[in-house]
Amino acid sequence: MKLLTGNDLPTGDVIWWTGSGWSRHVTDAADVGSEGEALGKLEEAARRVNGPYVIEATLTPDGPRPAHIKDRVRALGPTVRMDLTLAPEASPQVVL
Protein backbone atom coordinates (compact mmCIF):
# COMPACT_ATOMS: atom_id res chain seq x y z
CA MET A 1 0.00 0.00 0.00
CA LYS A 2 1.04 3.61 -0.51
CA LEU A 3 0.43 6.46 1.93
CA LEU A 4 0.53 10.20 1.36
CA THR A 5 2.21 12.20 4.11
CA GLY A 6 3.53 15.72 4.56
CA ASN A 7 3.51 18.50 7.12
CA ASP A 8 0.65 20.67 8.35
CA LEU A 9 1.26 24.26 7.24
CA PRO A 10 0.32 26.12 10.47
CA THR A 11 1.99 23.73 12.94
CA GLY A 12 4.57 21.71 10.99
CA ASP A 13 3.07 18.49 12.41
CA VAL A 14 3.35 15.30 10.38
CA ILE A 15 0.00 14.55 8.75
CA TRP A 16 -1.43 11.62 6.77
CA TRP A 17 -4.04 11.57 3.98
CA THR A 18 -7.22 9.79 5.13
CA GLY A 19 -9.02 9.61 1.82
CA SER A 20 -11.06 12.73 2.56
CA GLY A 21 -8.72 14.98 4.52
CA TRP A 22 -5.65 14.97 6.77
CA SER A 23 -4.99 13.39 10.17
CA ARG A 24 -2.10 13.48 12.63
CA HIS A 25 -2.53 9.72 13.16
CA VAL A 26 -1.05 7.18 10.74
CA THR A 27 -3.78 4.76 11.84
CA ASP A 28 -6.25 6.98 9.93
CA ALA A 29 -4.18 6.92 6.71
CA ALA A 30 -5.71 5.55 3.51
CA ASP A 31 -4.06 3.80 0.58
CA VAL A 32 -3.56 6.35 -2.22
CA GLY A 33 -2.31 3.82 -4.78
CA SER A 34 -1.01 5.31 -8.01
CA GLU A 35 -2.88 8.60 -7.41
CA GLY A 36 -0.73 9.69 -4.47
CA GLU A 37 1.69 12.01 -6.22
CA ALA A 38 -1.04 13.80 -8.18
CA LEU A 39 -3.14 14.15 -5.03
CA GLY A 40 -0.13 15.50 -3.14
CA LYS A 41 0.43 18.17 -5.78
CA LEU A 42 -3.24 19.22 -5.62
CA GLU A 43 -3.22 19.39 -1.82
CA GLU A 44 0.03 21.37 -1.81
CA ALA A 45 -1.33 23.80 -4.42
CA ALA A 46 -4.45 24.27 -2.27
CA ARG A 47 -2.08 25.07 0.65
CA ARG A 48 -3.43 22.29 2.87
CA VAL A 49 -0.07 20.51 3.23
CA ASN A 50 3.63 21.28 2.89
CA GLY A 51 6.08 18.93 1.17
CA PRO A 52 3.76 15.99 0.51
CA TYR A 53 5.27 12.69 -0.60
CA VAL A 54 4.21 9.07 -1.04
CA ILE A 55 5.66 6.26 1.07
CA GLU A 56 5.40 2.47 1.02
CA ALA A 57 3.50 0.80 3.86
CA THR A 58 1.90 -2.48 4.82
CA LEU A 59 -1.54 -2.96 6.31
CA THR A 60 -1.43 -4.60 9.73
CA PRO A 61 -4.21 -5.43 12.21
CA ASP A 62 -3.29 -2.16 13.96
CA GLY A 63 -3.53 -0.10 10.76
CA PRO A 64 -0.95 1.02 8.20
CA ARG A 65 2.71 0.50 9.09
CA PRO A 66 5.25 2.58 7.14
CA ALA A 67 7.90 0.39 5.52
CA HIS A 68 10.87 2.65 6.25
CA ILE A 69 12.10 3.24 9.81
CA LYS A 70 12.30 7.02 9.23
CA ASP A 71 8.58 7.14 8.42
CA ARG A 72 7.69 4.90 11.37
CA VAL A 73 9.49 7.35 13.67
CA ARG A 74 7.71 10.30 11.98
CA ALA A 75 4.37 8.53 12.56
CA LEU A 76 4.95 8.46 16.33
CA GLY A 77 4.97 12.24 16.54
CA PRO A 78 7.54 14.82 17.59
CA THR A 79 9.10 12.45 20.11
CA VAL A 80 9.67 8.75 20.61
CA ARG A 81 8.79 9.02 24.30
CA MET A 82 5.61 6.96 24.51
CA ASP A 83 4.07 9.23 27.14
CA LEU A 84 4.32 12.19 24.70
CA THR A 85 3.54 10.50 21.39
CA LEU A 86 0.68 11.47 19.09
CA ALA A 87 -0.30 7.80 18.71
CA PRO A 88 -3.95 7.49 19.76
CA GLU A 89 -3.33 4.25 21.70
CA ALA A 90 0.23 4.73 22.92
CA SER A 91 1.68 1.72 24.62
CA PRO A 92 5.16 0.91 25.88
CA GLN A 93 5.45 -1.91 23.30
CA VAL A 94 6.18 -0.14 19.98
CA VAL A 95 7.74 -2.09 17.13
CA LEU A 96 9.88 0.02 14.83
Note the pLDDT tens digit of each residue in 32-80: 999 999 999 999 999 999 999 999 999 999 899 999 988 988 887 766 5
In angstroms, rounded to a whole number, what is the distance separating the alpha carbons of residues 47 and 80? 28
**What pLDDT is stored for residue 95 in this prediction?**
47
**What pLDDT is stored for residue 62 in this prediction?**
87
In this prediction the pTM is 0.79
**Strands of the 14-17 sheet, one edge to the other:** 22-23, 14-17, 2-7, 50-60, 63-66
Q: Using alpha carbons only, give the angle 72, 75, 80 rounded to the nearest 5 degrees.
A: 80
In one letter, which amino acid is 87? A
Calculate the alpha carbon distances from 52 to 6, 90, 93 in Å.
Answer: 4, 25, 29
